[in-house]
Amino acid sequence: MKTILAVDVGNTRVKWALRESGAAPGRWLAQGAGTAEALVASLRATLPGAAALSEVVFSSVAGEAVTTALEQALRAAAGGAPVRRFVPRPAAGGLANRYAAPTLGADRFAAAIGARRLYGDGALVVACFGTATTIDTVSPAHDYLGGLILPGVDSMLAALATDTARLPRVAPGAALVEIPDTTEAAIAEGVARAQAGAVRETVEIARRRFGAARLVISGGAAPLLLGRLGLAVAAEPVAPASEAGADIPRFHEDLVLVGLAASAEDEGWEPA
């Protein structure tokens, strides 16, 4: 059995998943998450079946010191399997990269690949809510076109508390407050509307351009915004969605991992 370990190194935590080659996208043999420090310290114990790994693929948006330490730990635990860092390239995982600048984040491109594998053809808007919020568009022709980057929910809330003298640090709000009548509610509602509004406008633009576009969202802060974006809290099944439901928003927790595993499995993929 060929097994692929995908590792998503984010700004605040690391997610990993072990996949059997040929399994349906998002079907994992095992998975987990934690801090980079904890994973580096206990990698052999944390990752099952490391000795039987066929390949390790990882992406990182963390600092180089964290990335280097994690890569060294992965190599030590991989049992001789190749360990490769995923970086954006002209094409990978069935997507052509049309981003005009060489600074595209690996997580954005991998998430777009993951969304395409899970949800098939048609235009996609891929919104990932983490430390930063990214909202990207994929064309029906399988072109990654680019998108938005804005501060994440917690980053917005923290900035208001840090950069102003009299505004408090508040918790994010999930329930709609139509006209907030307290400062705390005003902040929470303002941040939530800014996030949801950026997503809705991007979806509207994609639908004007392509006629239809499916919204796919992911990320740790996503549950706070699910209701505002017309999504149920229940996890999305891993089977590809039918074209009949192309306008129904979808939630999937592991878009980056799905994209990393798909890219590693594709014939002819040669990571940098």
**DSSP-based three-state secondary structure for 211:** coil
Q: Is the dihedral of CA 81, 82, 83, 87 positive or negative?
A: negative
What's the CA angle centered on 156, arms 155 and 162, to 5 degrees? 85
Query: What does the block give as tokens for 176?
Result: 């709609």
Annotated active-site residue 254? The verdict is: no
Rounded Cα distance between 96 and 78, Å, is 30
The binding site for ATP comprises 8-15, 131
Rounded Cα distance between 187 and 10, Å, is 26
The binding site for substrate comprises 99, 105-108, 183
The binding site comprises 8-15, 99, 105-108, 131, 183
**What DSSP state is assigned to residue 189?**
H
Q: Which long-range contacts (CB under 8 A, 24 or more apart) does 150-153 make?
A: 150/194, 150/195, 150/198, 152/221, 153/129, 153/191, 153/192, 153/195, 153/221, 153/224, 153/225
Annotated active-site residue in 107, 136, 154, 254: 107
Tell me the backbone φ, ψ of residue 107, rounded to 5 degrees. Answer: -65, -35
Rounded Cα distance between 191 and 122, Å, is 30
Rounded Cα distance between 269 and 61, Å, is 21
Q: How far is CA 255 from the centre of its chain?
A: 5
- Active-site residues: which are they? 107
